[in-house]
Structure 1
Amino acid sequence: MANRIVLNETSYHGKGSICEIAGEVQKRGFKKAFVCSDPDLIKFGVTDKVIKVLEGANLVYEIYSNIKANPTIENVQTGVAAYKASGADYIIAIGGGSAMDTAKAIGIIINNPEFEDVRSLEGVAPTQKPSVPIIAVPTTAGTAAEVTINYVITDVEKNRKFVCVDTHDIPVIAVVDPDMMASMPAGLTAATGMDALTHAIEGYITQAAWEMTDMFHLKAIEIIAKSLRGAVANTAEGREGMALGQYIAGMGFSNVGLGIVHSMAHPLGAVYDTPHGVANAIILPTVMAYNAEYTGEKYREIARAMGVYGVDEMSVEAYRQAAIDAVKKLSADVGIPADLKAIVKPEDVDFLAQSAYDDACRPGNPRETNVEEIKALYESLL
């Protein structure tokens, strides 16, 4: 069996790395940028940091900002029309997963017009051509969409999110500059950071995990565990650590998939507009307990990476519980709720459970599951 790794062609990391964008654009001969960014980032001047780089190099651009927190089919469709009208030849995606997911869908459809029905991109779509070139500039430390082959779109009509997996959608350039993340409020920092931790833990125990991705995921867990509290407190060290940790997690999970934490979180975003990282963080410890017996010795290494001491002297049961408890402690320390009581309506659980079971992330879970067991997991959090 061959194990595949797909990563960016080029990535830049560190404070001030957005300044490298101009040189990359000029070197590649791009003519006009289609800048995808959400309205709040434009309003608060975050997008403008990149715009100043473009203007300083006399580079032409057009901004597209019809992007919601959980981007919709309509956001993609209007973006495709706007791109066609703009005369652009590449995309700069500035934002969290929402802006980058929207940009990926737009870029894929432009070069693969037979997939203009956005729903046809669900799952592993057989696209033939790479996306329009994308330069991805994350403003949150969580989704790692700048280095993944995944994106998620919300189908408002059907009240669901669908996951798209396509090696053709990966940005050619990722620019991971912690200065672009400095204005994130504490709540968003916590939520996106726990999303990154979920990526690392789920990717580490997924059925397709192997040595190289294990390396990425364990290092990501270690960095995130050390950095997230500081990032929420807005320390420079915390921000820099989270910028790197979330990217490393993306290097791994993009290539091996996730599990039912994400499967269960996606319907909460679609039905209640719950922030994705918050949903993941609440669900993660419960699913870790559910999966524990199917993970071999991996929870010992998760506990170690989370900073738990003495794991080598612990029993299997003890180190598995220690890993779960360390995740719970970090989540509580950064202000994430402990349950779904304020989010989920009991009458919706049947729909949520079926949606989670149908989700593209579910098959990667280390433990085989069914709709009734997923329903019980939701109910245990109410």
Structure 2
Amino acid sequence: MVVNRMILNETGYFGKGAITEVANEAKKRGFKKALVVTDKDLLKFEVATKVITILQEADLAYEIFDGIVPNPTIEDVQAGVAACKAAKADYIVAIGGGSPIDTAKAIGIIIENPEFFDVISLEGTAATKKPSLPILAVPTTSGTAAEVTINYVITDAKNHRKFVCVDPHDIPVVAFVDSDMMMGMPKSLCAATGMDALTHAIEGFVTKGAWEMSDMLHIKAIEIIANSLRQSFAGDQSAREAMALGQYIAGMGFSNVGLGLVHGMAHPLSAWYNIPHGVACATLLPLIMDYNKDFTGEKYREIAEKFNIPGADQLPLSEVREKAVSAVKQLGIDVGIPQNLTELGVKKEDIPQIAKDALKDVTTPGNPRETTVEEIITLYNDML
């Protein structure tokens, strides 16, 4: 017997102005002092300050921890735990993309489960006993869906690897998905996070753990992203709002059923070369879609239909699969995604070890096609 599980936020707010509810949620939950977890750029460009101003106007106490970098490390998390303790915060307001929200999750878990202070012991499905310190999550990118997932990713810089933590205790209690918070994204970040969201949707759609409810979420996310990312990349706010919703819907799905080889191969690339996660995923996505195509049943036909490919419902399966892969590849090209790994600084001599890391990644077993380290080496080499 198969038992499927769905874990989602207690509450979510969506649309322009959603952040105005941050103070109301903090007050009605009886919170006293926040640790605001964000990064220096979001403060510098007055994105995070939109939320901080709301806290100030509501006379809610807070302290700021802005020591977040892309691909946050074990040491970043530990510094955040120290800041949270020093502030005597009873909740966290996480503002940013995947890096601040992932770091906030790790901080919140360790505050309530201090035996995991080494961070590394949280890898995989750690047996934490208590829910995280409550997190109010405000995403500033339309891609990672960290505000609705039970996953977070931390970098072990000493060993050149990223590790995934999967814990129902870490999910933010409230998410505020506000397109106004995403309008400041540079085009490159809009592209990378948008393609990351598409990767979540496609991998979640074909992963081994997929089922009817997750399929419903993922195919809708694919439809929204396929029809909004180009316009969002061009700066259209209505498209940014659509992308904000699409990436969240994808997160609702993949958080509960897992991913696959795209993420398995992307994580070590980010760990070895500090490549932004979304860029790594986006570059690899068409290649792995092609690799998996014969193991996906009719699902690529559904993807093709959402990409508005003429006659997708009538074409032979082999042809419609090719067209689905081509449509995803073209979308990446249109929004400026690098089309090879050499451009990202990947070195051929590193690939055998990177491939071993990819095979061991927690997301790889969800791939619909079984793989080997030799096949992963070939896939990396094909992208040089």
Determine the structure 2 residue equivalent to 1:140: 141
Q: Deviations over 1:90-119 (max 9, x none)?
A: 000000000000000000000011111100
Q: AA paired with 1:307?
A: N
What residue is the counterpart of 2:359 in the other structure? 357
Residue matched to 2:372: 370
Amino acid at match of 1:130: P
1:96 alignment counterpart: 97
Q: Which residue does 1:158 correspond to in 2?
A: 159
What secondary structure does 2:227 align onto?
helix
- SS state of the match for residue 342, structure 1? helix
Name the % identity.
Answer: 64
Amino acid aligned to 2:176: V
Which residue number corresponds to residue 172 of structure 1?
173
Who is 1:15 aligned against?
16
Whole-Å separation in 2 of the counterparts to 1:257 and 1:360: 9
**Separation of aligned partners in 2, 1:258 and 1:155:** 21
Which AA in structure 1 matches 2:252? M
Distance 2:53 2:369 in 1: 49
In the aligned structure 2, how far is the partner of 1:227 from the partner of 1:316?
26
Give the letter aligned to residue 336 of structure 1.
I
The amino acid across from 1:91 in the alignment is I
Partners of 2:371 and 2:55 lie apart in 1 by: 49
Return the offset for 1:309.
2.1
Q: Counterpart in 2 of 1:106?
A: 107
Residue type of the partner of 2:29?
A: R
| CA distance in 1: counterparts of 2:232 and 2:63, whole angstroms | 32
Deviation of the 1:245 alpha carbon = 0.3
User: For residues 351 and 101 of structure 2, what CA distance do their matches in structure 1 show?
Assistant: 30
CA deviation map 1:130-174 (0-9, x unaligned) = 000000000000000000000000001001000000000000000
1:1-382, aligned counterparts within 5 Å? 1-343=2-344, 344-382=346-384
Q: When the two structures are aligned, how many residues end up with a matched partner?
A: 382
Does structure 2 conserve the Cα–Cα contact (< 8 Å) formed by 1:7 and 1:147? yes
1:92 alignment partner, SS class: strand
Give 5+ residue unaligned stretches, structure 1. Answer: none
So what's the TM-score if we normalise by structure 1? 0.99
Counterpart of 1:308, as a letter, is I
Counterparts of 1:312 and 1:221 in 2: how far apart (Å)?
17
Query: Contact 1:37 / 1:99 at 8 angstroms: preserved in 2?
Result: yes
Q: Quote how far apart the aligned CAs of 1:338 are.
A: 1.2
Partner of 1:145, secondary structure, is coil
1: CA distance, partners of 2:310 / 2:173: 40
Paired with 2:308 and 2:91, the residues of 1 have a C-alpha distance of 42
* Structure 1 residue 342 displacement after superposition: 1.6
For residue 114 of structure 1, give the secondary structure of its aligned residue in structure 2.
helix
Amino acid at match of 1:367: R
Stretches of structure 2 lacking an aligned partner (at least 5 in a row) = none
Residue-by-residue CA offset, 1:223-243 (whole Å, 9 max, x unaligned): 001111111111011111110
Q: What is the rounded CA distance, in whole Å, between the counterparts of 2:214 and 2:91 in structure 1?
A: 30
SS at match of 1:144: coil
SS in 1 for 2:354: helix
Deviation at 1:261? 0.1
In structure 2, C-alpha distance between the alignment counterparts of 1:307 and 1:153, rounded to whole Å = 37
Write the distance in 1 (CA, Å) between the matches of 2:171 and 2:191: 26
Q: SS state of the match for residue 208, structure 1?
A: coil
Is the contact made by 1:222 and 1:307 (CA closer than 8 Å) also made in structure 2? no
CA offset digits 1:187-221 (Å, max 9, x no partner): 00000000000000000000000000000000000
Spell out, residue by residue over 1:55-110, the C-alpha distance to the aligned partner (whole angstroms, 9 max, x if none): 11111100001111110000000111111110110000000000000000000000
Superposition deviation, residue 312 in structure 1: 1.5
On the 8 A contact 1:96/1:139 being kept in 2, the answer is: yes
Q: Within 1, Cα distance between the matches of 2:138 and 2:194?
A: 17
Q: Distance in 2 between matches of 1:72 and 1:49?
A: 27
C-alpha distance in 2, partners of 1:61/1:269? Answer: 32
How far apart in 2 are the matches of 1:32 and 1:337? 43
In structure 1, C-alpha distance between the alignment counterparts of 2:142 and 2:347, rounded to whole Å = 30
SS at match of 1:146: coil
CA displacement at 1:278 relative to structure 2: 0.9
- 1:281-300 deviations in Å (ceiling 9; x for gaps): 11011101111111111100
- Normalising by the residue count of structure 2, what TM-score does the alignment of the two structures yield? 0.99
| 2:192 partner SS | helix
Deviations 1:234-262 (A, max 9, x none): 10111111100000000000000000100
**Aligned Cα RMSD in Å?**
0.6
